[in-house]
Structure 1
């Protein structure tokens, strides 16, 4: 489960890079019941951060759940970026480089709120880290309409385990998927019990990763009360469904979805809901 104590190595934030901010804000508001709060660059943010600063925050029941910004990176695809909490972004950057990853955005301060950096793992999966200042992360997680899990689709789970274990200190445990669906590797922050598992790794051939041109990619899983009803809202508002809705034994009912700009995410109604 994901919690808001945000221990080192746990998911703490996510934001969406979208080509059309108003359209993305409207879509997720209708699908997940979020309220969108636009914001502009403040005086305490550096000039580079102020440029092209179109975006804001999503809230659920008044609590911040995610961010939204205009996609400005040339050649980048619309996608959710997941941030993991670290105590020292500079030390993490050095660990990424030692482990064969790439620094996409070098560590930088975002005012008093914290310090961030973005990377690619050795196979191309993109992720980010957050060294908290006054802001620790999202205010609502593991509840209806919020982040409840993170997932990496990769072409090489063994390599991903080595990299993320070295960089973020994760522990892994494997489970066999029903019906011969392969092995799913569960992720837990170092030193915590398995009940604090926050994500998983799934190995897929490159031809099944067409969204990212055959490269691995992370995506968020959002908790919803009724997966089928949420999927209907996705398709009714210009999104599409890659898989599901279907039942996953011991997990719940889920669907892999795309928003209108093809950013991917998963909707999950956990077992027992």
Structure 2
């Protein structure tokens, strides 16, 4: 029992700050709790029916799924590319690893404020485009509804690609050198070595990175809030900014119901993706 007694303080904090709020959230989503009522009344699934009838939530869900797809693909692609480069005999590779990893330990709000300066009409990005003769491509990156969501995705990929890189590097470094040397002796070029030896053996690292980036991007809030707050209009409205707006309006039960829906969607997508990726690991 001695180790269990040491776990009790941790379990108490975990239960108070996570388990209880989660369970109470399920309950409050079944009430009419809002700032305009003096008492809370149980209304069953009424909040969920209102959510399904709300067209603006569908729009937020669509933006969230598009954002999650972009971030998951490019974050892992860039992270894998950096890992492959920085596990070769590149001069100063340890310094480069540190530089690329550094953004993920910074506050997301700080990253958002930095990119808001970069994306301004007179910001660094547009000035660079004009300098290289691509002035026709300049735009208000965060004020243009057609590109704002993609601009935010780029900021998130830039921040967390280094984290994916670190996991891929760890996976590459545990690959037995004998397998790589044998492949080289057999005449495999670098691309074949990556495709048939390194990438299959990186399957566990790939699974971890995909699941983490998928969950993180589905829960996105800070970077969107810092850059656009869901604007222009509702062009970058994601589920968490939608929930934030509902709580700001005092519609606590409605916002909690939306949060429960987000929790269930993330759970379903994540478990299904994990199932597919685990099966892929076995097949490889």
Q: Same fold (TM over 0.5)?
A: no
Larger Rg over CA atoms: 2
Please identify which structure carries the higher strand content: 1
Band the TM-score falls in, shorter-chain normalisation: under 0.3
| TM-score, L = length of structure 1 | 0.24
Please identify which structure carries the higher helix content: 2
